[in-house]
Amino acid sequence: MNDLTRGNEGRQIMMFAVPMLIGNVFQQMYNIVDSIVVGKYIGSVALAAVGASFPILFTLSALVGGIVIGGSVLISQYFGAKNFQKVKVTSDTLQIFLLVSSAILSVLFFAISRPLFNFLSIPPEVLPDAVRYFDIVILTTTIPMFSLFGMSAILRGVGNSKTPVFFVAISLVINMILDLVFVLVFKWGIDGVAWATAIATLLSWLALWYHLNKRENKMIQFNLNYNRWQFDWNNFRLSLKIGLPSGIQQTLVGLGSMALLTIVSPFGVATLAAYTAAGRVDMFVSMPAMNLSAALSSFVGQNLGAERFDRIKNGLRATLLYSTIICIALSLVVLFFGEEIMRLFTEINSPHHNEIIRIGKEYLVIVTSFYIVFTVMFIYNGVTRGAGATFIPMLITTLSLWVIRIPIAYILARHFGPTGIWWSIPIGWSAGCIGSVIYYNSGLWKKHRVKTALN
């Protein structure tokens, strides 16, 4: 556990963010290796199938993820206020909710997978692989993945960002090894990729759960003795109040990705495969801003609970500086080596080889050039989210995505093809960034401090 209400603000945020960043480096490296294995050794159709599944899987977890954010904000503020009984109740409530919701959602999305992919206009040659991959992943990973989200959020709320990283890193190494064994040795194709994900996720879940209940403080333990579980409806409603706007926001982002998929898919397998591969690189470059934003949220939560507004302002400045420097450095690498990066994801003998490289490089050049805008937006949202002020950011995201980005993507795609779709992404970011900065400067987010944290 780590008290973030004392010490140098910038150093604390960076030290808190680095373990999460390392964990996400492993996560994104896995995603990249996974896509390379699929694209090079199974084919562009399989790569497109995996890419088609991602927006649905993201949307599945997004709404529930809002409750995770709400629970983490509560835990960090209660912990900052030294109200440890509330930390315990919030932790239990979050874990119980995740177990129940993940079981329900896994069965529901399995039942509707094929109609859902048909609705997204997935190319006919991609559809069988997409459905098969999705069905395996949804049935085997939803419960352990949601529980992992919950345990990681709880640990971050009490200032521990290092422990989840260790188990995630081991899981991702196992996943990459199993990918290679199942695809190259056993020749299981896309099924092997799905089962590698399932096995690695399950092992990581069991290991972190064991650690949580054997090594961590009793206030955040959640063991098999269900008679000691505490589900508090008032606490859950408060988590909903804080987290639901963020959950809706992320759900709308996921639905937006699905809407973009319906615009991208009609352009064919090569465009869909390039979109998938470039998206993996895209996520890697955006990762530092997202992790620094998450670290800043925990920092703001604890300092808001301790009424240290001066530290929040200093923390924001330091985080903006760090994230901007990192973002520019990564963006330059992608801009200069975009073609070489895209070559990693496709077979030389593939009929779509050159087209995938061309389209993917174009995506990276356009989108990566505007990552500084994305970074500023995410960092400012990290402050307001840590304060529990999540409704206005949700509204800003909704407007920038559904009123600006999606309509512009549709219009530009008709006139400029996939290039127009790529340009809609930074246009939407710019609108969201302007709204986020205006809301922060208004100071209205300060009123959302959880008053019960001191009770």
For residue 25, what is the enclosing H or E element?
helix 9-41
Is it the case that residue 70 has pLDDT exceeding 90? no
- Model confidence band, residue 361 (pLDDT cutoffs 50, 70, 90): very high
| Within a domain: 371 | yes
**What's the average model confidence in pLDDT over 416-436?**
94
**What's the average model confidence in pLDDT over 67-72?**
82
- Model confidence band, residue 417 (pLDDT cutoffs 50, 70, 90): very high
- Tally the domains of the chain: 1
| Within a domain: 358 | yes
Higher per-residue pLDDT: 113 or 251: 113
Is it the case that residue 170 has pLDDT exceeding 50? yes
The pTM of this model reads 0.72
Is it the case that residue 453 has pLDDT exceeding 50? no
Reported as a single tens digit per residue, the pLDDT across 318-342 is: 999 998 898 899 889 988 998 898 9
Distances in whole angstroms, Cα of residue 201 to Cα of each of 31, 151, 171, 455: 14, 14, 7, 38
In this structure, what DSSP letter does residue 186 have? S
Instruction: Say if residues 377 and 432 touch (Cβ distance below 8 Å).
Output: yes
Is it the case that residue 128 has pLDDT exceeding 70? yes
- Predicted local distance difference test score (pLDDT) of residue 291: 84
| Within a domain: 2 | no
Q: Domain range holding 449?
A: 9-454
Rounded to 5 degrees, what angle do the CA atoms 158, 160, 161 make? 130
Distances in whole angstroms, Cα of residue 50 to Cα of each of 85, 122, 183, 306, 455: 43, 11, 14, 45, 48
Whole-number average pLDDT of the chain:
85
Q: Give the Cβ contact number of residue 400 at 10 Å.
A: 23
| Within a domain: 70 | yes
| Within a domain: 368 | yes
For the stretch 4-26, what's the b/e string if a residue is b when 16 or more beta carbons lie within 10 angstroms of its beta carbon? bbeeebeebbbbbbbbbbbbbbb
Residue 55 structure tokens: 């927006």
- Model confidence band, residue 450 (pLDDT cutoffs 50, 70, 90): low
| Within a domain: 4 | no
How much of the chain, in percent, has pLDDT values that exceed 90?
30
| Within a domain: 24 | yes
**What's the average model confidence in pLDDT over 358-387?**
90
Whole-angstrom distance, CA of residue 205 vs CA of residue 222: 13
Is it the case that residue 454 has pLDDT exceeding 50? no
| Within a domain: 341 | yes
- Predicted local distance difference test score (pLDDT) of residue 2: 61
